[in-house]
Chain A
Amino acid sequence: MYRRHRKLVLAVAALLFLWLTFFTIRETDFVLITQFGRPLYTVSDAGLHMKWFWQNSTYFDRRLRMYNPRPSEFLTRDKKNLVIESYVAWRIQDPKRFVETVGDPIAAEMRLHDIVWSGLAAALGTHDFDAIISPAAETVKAQQMLDSLSAATDRAALAQYGIQVVDVRIKRLNLPEQNKQSVYARMRAERERIARQYRAEGEEQALRIRADADRQKEEILSVAYKQAEKTKGEGDAEATRTYSAAYSKNPRFYKLIRTLESYKKIFDDKTTAILSSDSELLKIFMRGETGQ
């Protein structure tokens, strides 16, 4: 009876000893070894480790955490309000310092909030609105600002709380709610201006096209007129040449028939001709063939 009990006790004691001596660390954790509450050293390699059985191991999550502080309103150097929503990527770097000063992640994030908030307020106080938000890319200094803010936050957090701040970034920029209505009004006004401009530009282009068409039309017609008149002139000239060549060979005959033609046209039924009985035409009529 006693022997069996002794065996059991020994086995339990041995198991307990192993349990207290060996410990494993996952890739996601750190272990802080404490001796009667006093922090001794940190083990950061994952795997199987040994300690004295009277020492305690405390686990800390070493993974990267994303902390999103509440969006806050900041004032830029040129006195414009800006609502900034940021995130802080952080992890525990020095568990000893961390456990001494902060203790748990929630408290750590409160500390980070304070550091980041005052850092952002200071940084924005030295930057103009244009340096954060502007369509002219070369004036934007936001990234440099955040890089130096990250570095400063990292230094402060590491020294004070054993926290490594990997990055501080702005994930949302906005304008304060109370400014929104005026912003919308400005946006509307801007759109109206642009719409007017589009319409006016369309009108301009249309007028230009119409005017161009009209000009081309005039040009086409006048060029054609010019050519047509020239052609007609050539025809007239050629005709005149032909006529004069023919007529100048027989000027007397031409004079005769041309004059007779003219008579035909000049005299009509309103004309009264006083004919002498002595005239060539009437000589025979008046006096007979012999002409007495």
Chain B
Amino acid sequence: MRQRIAIGAGILWLLSAIYIVPTDAQAVVTRFGRVVEPRMMPGIHLSLPWPLDRVSRLKVQQQQRLVIGGDASDSVLGRTQPLQTQFLTGDQNVINLRVVVQYYVGVPSDYLFQQENVTRTIAGAVESELARRVARRDVDSVLTTEKAAIQEEVRAAAQKVLNEYRAGALLSSVNIELAAPPPEAADAFRDVASARADSSRIVNEAQGYSNDVLPKARGAAQQLIEASEAYKQRKINEAQGDASRFTEVAAEYAKASDVNGRRLYAEAMEQILPKIKKLIVEKNGNLDLTIIRKEDK
């Protein structure tokens, strides 16, 4: 009986040599504390039984998240003023930043054994690179255009630092989640934004004016040109009409110029004389000009 128990215990003990690494994990095997298998992939594996070998499993694919700055608790960073999120830019502006770092395990054995506190190492590396990058730029570029560049630079540089430390962690992203001026100057920053909007509004209005005036001017110009063409055509046509009428009449007139001359003269007089006052005087007779004066009154 006692023997059986011993054999059963022995078998159980031997079974502890078999271990399984789940799909999302990798394992590090240590023998008497020394790393013998730095990276075991998912599957079923064999080692020496406990306590000779120990298996540490790590979820390598799992993204871990770390917040720097902002109002999250910063006990990890050992910050004495937890609300201190201020960074100093190159042009000596103070801005508040909150940065979210995502990382996962790169080298499991380094990750487990090379540092006392992985989060603290990562936070230190990222924060120092961030401070350095921000200190070399002016506040506008940190707030707007250069944000993406800073993120990528910080990620790459902090990764380099972590590799030097053998931290065994891979940074997948460094994301500036919040970049804002301090509340004491926030209204002035907002005014700059609205000034930019005002500026483009004014420009748009001017553009609108231009868009209104120019087509109208072009229309008016076209109208002027068309009118002048019309005038030209009218003048030419009238001249031709008048000329051919004149030529026709002149041809007839030439056939009997004396009679026609008299007729035309008489017709003209018929039109003129009825409208005007007429004084008829005898040939060689004296004319009393006072008559005219009286008539005028």
| Interfacial residues, chain A to chain B (CB-CB below 8 A) | 24-29, 45-48, 61, 63-66, 68, 70-71, 87, 89, 132-137, 140, 142-143, 166-167, 169-175, 180-181, 183-184, 186-188, 190-192, 194-196, 198-199, 201-203, 205-210, 212-214, 216-217, 220-221, 223-225, 227-232, 234-236, 238-243, 245-247, 249-250, 252-254, 256-257, 260, 263-264, 267-269, 271-278, 280-282, 286
Interface membership of B221, Cβ < 8 A: yes
Give the chain A neighbours of B50 by CB distance below 8 A: none
Q: 9 A–B contact pairs at CB < 8 A?
A: A133-B88, A188-B184, A194-B192, A209-B207, A232-B228, A246-B246, A272-B295, A275-B278, A277-B282
Chain A: interface secondary structure? helix
Whether the Cβ atoms of A192 and B117 lie closer than 8 Å is no
Give the chain A neighbours of B273 by CB distance below 8 A: 273
* A249/B250 contact (C-beta < 8 A), A28-B113, A66-B120, A257-B264 known: yes
Whether the Cβ atoms of A272 and B276 lie closer than 8 Å is yes
Whether the Cβ atoms of B34 and A47 lie closer than 8 Å is yes
Give the chain A neighbours of B272 by CB distance below 8 A: 263-264, 267
CA distance in complex: A66, B119 (Å): 10
CA distance in complex: A264, B91 (Å): 92
* A47/B33 contact (C-beta < 8 A), A203-B202, A212-B210, A273-B273 known: yes
CA distance in complex: A223, B234 (Å): 22
Give the chain B neighbours of A250 by CB distance below 8 A: 246-247, 250, 253-254
What are the 9 tightest A-B residue pairs by CB atom distance, in nearest-first order?
Answer: A202-B199, A235-B232, A224-B221, A228-B228, A239-B239, A135-B90, A246-B243, A191-B188, A206-B206
Whether the Cβ atoms of A216 and B282 lie closer than 8 Å is no
Chain B nearest Cβ from A1, distance in angstroms: 22
Please give me the residue from chain B that is nearest to A246 by CB atom.
B243
Listed stretches B8-16, B59-67, B123-131, B169-177; interface member? B123-131
Chain B nearest Cβ from A284, distance in angstroms: 11
Give the chain B neighbours of A188 by CB distance below 8 A: 184-185, 188
Whether the Cβ atoms of A242 and B240 lie closer than 8 Å is yes
Whether the Cβ atoms of B265 and A260 lie closer than 8 Å is yes
Give the size category of B's interface with A. 35 or more
Per-residue contact bits, chain B 94-134, to A (CB 8 Å; 1 contact, 0 not): 10000000000000010011111100110011011001100
| Interfacial residues, chain B to chain A (CB-CB below 8 A) | 30-35, 77-80, 84, 86-94, 109, 112-117, 120-121, 124-125, 127-128, 131-132, 135-139, 161, 164-167, 181-182, 184-185, 188-189, 191-192, 194-196, 198-203, 205-207, 209-210, 213-214, 216-218, 220-222, 224-225, 227-229, 231-236, 238-240, 242-244, 246-247, 249-250, 253-254, 257, 261, 264-266, 268-269, 271-273, 275-283, 287, 292, 295
Please give me the residue from chain B that is nearest to A192 by CB atom.
B188
Whether the Cβ atoms of A65 and B115 lie closer than 8 Å is yes
Whether the Cβ atoms of B276 and A269 lie closer than 8 Å is yes
Whether the Cβ atoms of B221 and A220 lie closer than 8 Å is yes
Give the chain A neighbours of B269 by CB distance below 8 A: 281
Whether the Cβ atoms of B210 and A209 lie closer than 8 Å is yes
Please give me the residue from chain A that is nearest to B113 by CB atom.
A27
Give the chain A neighbours of B210 by CB distance below 8 A: 209-210, 212-213
* A264/B121 contact (C-beta < 8 A), A64-B165, A242-B236, A277-B283 known: no
Please give me the residue from chain B that is nearest to A186 by CB atom.
B92
CA distance in complex: A230, B295 (Å): 52
Whether the Cβ atoms of B124 and A171 lie closer than 8 Å is yes
Residue among B34, B91, B220, B235 making CB contact with A224, cutoff 8 Å: B220
Give the chain A neighbours of B78 by CB distance below 8 A: 68
CA distance in complex: A187, B33 (Å): 57
- Residue of A140, A173, A207, A223 contacting most chain B CB atoms (<10 Å): A173
CA distance in complex: A246, B235 (Å): 15
CA distance in complex: A281, B220 (Å): 56
